[in-house]
Amino acid sequence: MAHLRFADPTWLLALILLPLFFYRYFGEQRRGRNSLRFSDLGLLLAAGPTLWTRLRHGLIALKLLGLACLILAMARPQAGRESRELSAEGIDILLTLDVSSSMEAKDLGSRNRLEIAKEVVADFIRGRQSDRLGLVIFAGESFTQCPLTLDYDILLNFVQNLQFADDSWDGTAIGMALANACNRLRDSQAKSKVVVVLTDGVSNAGELEPLTAADAAAAVGIRVYTIGVGSNQASLASPLLFGRSQGAEFDESTLQEVARRTGGRYFRATSQEKLQEIYREIAALETSPVKDKVHVDYAERFAYFLWPGLILLLSEVVLANTRFRRIP
């Protein structure tokens, strides 16, 4: 956006003098201040006014326009172009996903839990702007798939290629997953450090209990949001699912306590729509305030009026002393 201003606007007051000059000039013309006596005006009257006679009043127009331009130049007109600087204090977020065999259940929709979770998490990633995001996966063990990054395309590629844990490391190690995510955030300088844990089972593997890991997270200022995935029917114990052990009863109370101890929140996703709503709510809770700074760089434009003003005044002087020269 272009901006215009005058650096010395006081000079603009001089413009009110120009109508006074105009009024004085035509007052003098009416009074016939400059006159010459002839014994016989017949020849002059017969000749009539010429084109140059009619244009003699153009001198005052040149003078007034020239003075107006010089006054505007003295007021120092300036033009500026606006530039905006957007900045935000980013948040560091570790997305922690359960890839155990129980995530193969199809109780949230037509696809299994992991496929739905991958789609919703991908939408969450696309909605961030200035935050560093990372990905931790877990089953019976925990692994960092992607460290904190601003390259969302790489992170999305990791999410899209997630697979179920095989039998060699199946299980649900919530405590180890949380500890792994917190370790990635421990040295972060972000104003807000967040872990989002999505799981569908009870912690049944790993050397670290979820609540112990929660206390460690709280000690270093990490907030944990926990999401329990599964319909009400699936929350009951089910010994076998697709030939693999689904695990014990859904441990909602532990996830609630993990969130409470770290200042986060617990959510329950019983459908794909509910899971989408949960991630939208987390996105709204964890926002980076954007600072909008407006800068305007001004450049001098007085030359656009100075040179035309000088040319107009010079033209008036030259014409007044040549073509429109008056007899004294």
Best-predicted range by mean pLDDT (104-108, 151-155, 204-208, 249-253): 151-155
In this prediction, residues 248-258 reach a mean pLDDT of 80
Query: Can you give the pLDDT at residue 295?
Result: 67
Tell me the percentage of the chain whose pLDDT exceeds 70.
78
pTM of the predicted protein model: 0.60
97 and 129 inside one domain? yes
134 and 273 inside one domain? yes
95 and 236 inside one domain? yes
93 and 61 inside one domain? no
Q: Is residue 306 assigned to a domain?
A: yes
At 89, the pLDDT band (50, 70, 90 cuts) reads low
Query: What are the beta bridge partners of residue 82?
Result: 296
142: Cα separation from own chain's centroid = 36
Backbone angles phi, psi at 319, to 5 degrees: -65, -35
In this prediction, residues 16-41 reach a mean pLDDT of 69
* pLDDT(132) > 70: yes
Q: Is residue 328 assigned to a domain?
A: no
Q: Is residue 311 assigned to a domain?
A: yes
Q: Is residue 292 assigned to a domain?
A: no
Q: pLDDT of 166-210, one tens digit each? A: 988 899 999 999 999 999 998 888 888 999 999 987 888 888 899
Lowest mean pLDDT among 36-40, 72-76, 152-156: 36-40
Q: Is residue 238 assigned to a domain?
A: yes
In this prediction, residues 271-282 reach a mean pLDDT of 91
16 and 94 inside one domain? no
CATH assignment of the domain containing 165: 3.40.50.410
* pLDDT(83) > 80: no
Query: Can you give the pLDDT at residue 212?
Result: 94
| 104 neighbors 113 (Cβ within 8 angstroms) | yes
107 and 249 inside one domain? yes
Give the number of domains in the chain.
2
Q: pLDDT of 50-80, one tens digit each? A: 555 666 777 888 888 988 999 999 999 988 7
Query: Can you give the pLDDT at residue 112?
Result: 92
Q: Which domain holds residue 208?
A: 89-287
* pLDDT(123) > 90: yes
* pLDDT(291) > 70: no
What secondary structure, in 3-state letters, does the chain show? CEEEEECCHHHHHHHHHHHHHHHHHHHHHHHCCCCCCCCCCHHHHHHCCCHHHHHHHHHHHHHHHHHHHHHHHHCCEEEEEEEEEEEECCCEEEEEEECCHHHHCCCCCCCCHHHHHHHHHHHHHHCCCCCEEEEEEECCCEEEEEEEECCHHHHHHHHHCCCCCCHHHCCCCHHHHHHHHHHHHCCCCCCCEEEEEEECCCCCCCCCCHHHHHHHHHHCCEEEEEEEECCCCCCCCCCCECCECCCCCCCHHHHHHHHHHHCCCEEEECCHHHHHHHHHHHHHHCCCCEEEEEEEEEEECCHHHHHHHHHHHHHHHHHHCCCCCCCC
Distance CA 142, CA 177 (A): 5
169 and 255 inside one domain? yes
* pLDDT(6) > 60: yes
118 and 242 inside one domain? yes
129 and 263 inside one domain? yes
At 315, the pLDDT band (50, 70, 90 cuts) reads confident
103 and 150 inside one domain? yes
How confident is the prediction for the chain on average, in pLDDT?
A: 82
In this prediction, residues 125-136 reach a mean pLDDT of 90
The more confidently predicted of residues 317 and 57 is 317
* pLDDT(265) > 90: yes
At 40, the pLDDT band (50, 70, 90 cuts) reads low
Q: Is residue 293 assigned to a domain?
A: no
Q: Is residue 192 assigned to a domain?
A: yes
Q: Is residue 325 assigned to a domain?
A: no
263 and 308 inside one domain? no
235 and 152 inside one domain? yes
The more confidently predicted of residues 11 and 319 is 11
Tell me the percentage of the chain whose pLDDT exceeds 90.
37
